[in-house]
A = this chain, B = another copy of it.
Amino acid sequence: MEEIKLIAFDADDTLWMNEYHYRKAELEFCEKMQKYTSAKTANELLLKREKQNLPLLGYGSKPFIISLIETAIEISNGEISTKEILELIEIGKETIGQPIELMPDVENVLSMLSLKFPLILATKGDLKEQESKIERSGLEKYFTSVEILSEKSSESYRRIIQKHSIKPENFLMVGNSFKSDILPVLEIGGNAIYIPSEIIWAHEIAQEIEHPRLKRADRLSVDLFV
């Protein structure tokens, strides 16, 4: 890692917990649907709907709310009450603005690293929701810049690298999504540290590979960067 000149961190489920709030909302959704179908089917249909909505609506709580409503109407064959629809909207809204719970040792690792490297935050999702989480995390001070992307493709990483006038081999990305944080970075010749999270959104699951420029770890620690 001697050549690293810029380190980028993913945010959700790398620096702080996020998916947890969505899992909780999904459980509440399945509970409401249990008079119509099994939790397994409810969850599968919700996921399918989210996938259909993804290209048009993108990431975050708002597409989630819309998918909850559409799926509930589908599952109940139109029988769900408007009172229950309002309750589903509330379940979805509760995924926004939850207290930020940092992952273990995050603050320590960032404060140490920021003395040696320029750090950036590279996250995808809803602009307003991500800005709010970054602000509430108290971590913004460790980063020289924040990139909120609508998608994490090799093209978006290439742009970050160009903007900082470095070569791909000088770039290191740290994240919990093999699909969004790791694969596209390895693809353009960058380095990556993969820290799988306990829970991950089904749409972020990708085939994992071994790679000479890839490290894997159970949790964030300073040792990973030496």
- Give A residues with C-beta under 8 Å from B: 56-59, 61-63, 65-66, 69-70, 73, 76, 78-83, 85-86, 89, 93, 96-97, 126-129, 131, 148-150
Contact = CB atoms under 8 A, between A and B. Distances in A.
Contact of A62 (B57, B82, B93, B148): B57
A78 B83 contact: yes
A65 B64 CA distance: 12
Secondary structure at the A interface, as helix, strand, loop or mixed, is helix
Given A73-B82, A82-B78, A82-B80, A58 B126 contact: yes
8 contacts: A56-B93, A57-B128, A58-B127, A59-B128, A62-B65, A66-B89, A73-B82, A127-B127
B62 A66 contact: yes
Given A62-B66, A127-B127, 6 more contacts: A56-B93, A57-B62, A59-B128, A66-B66, A69-B69, A78-B83
The 9 A-B pairs at the shortest CB distance, nearest first, are namely A62-B62, A58-B128, A127-B127, A78-B82, A128-B150, A73-B82, A127-B150, A131-B150, A65-B66
Which one of A62, A96, A150 has the highest number of Cβ atoms from chain B below 10 Å of its Cβ? A62
A80 B86 CA distance: 12
A60 to B, nearest CB: 8
A63 B66 contact: no
A127 B62 CA distance: 13
Contacts of A97: 56
Contacts of A80: 82
A206 to B, nearest CB: 21
The CB with the most chain B CB atoms within 10 A, among A73, A127, A131, A148, is that of A127
A89 B131 CA distance: 27
A24 to B, nearest CB: 18
A81 B81 CA distance: 8
Contacts of A73: 82, 85-86
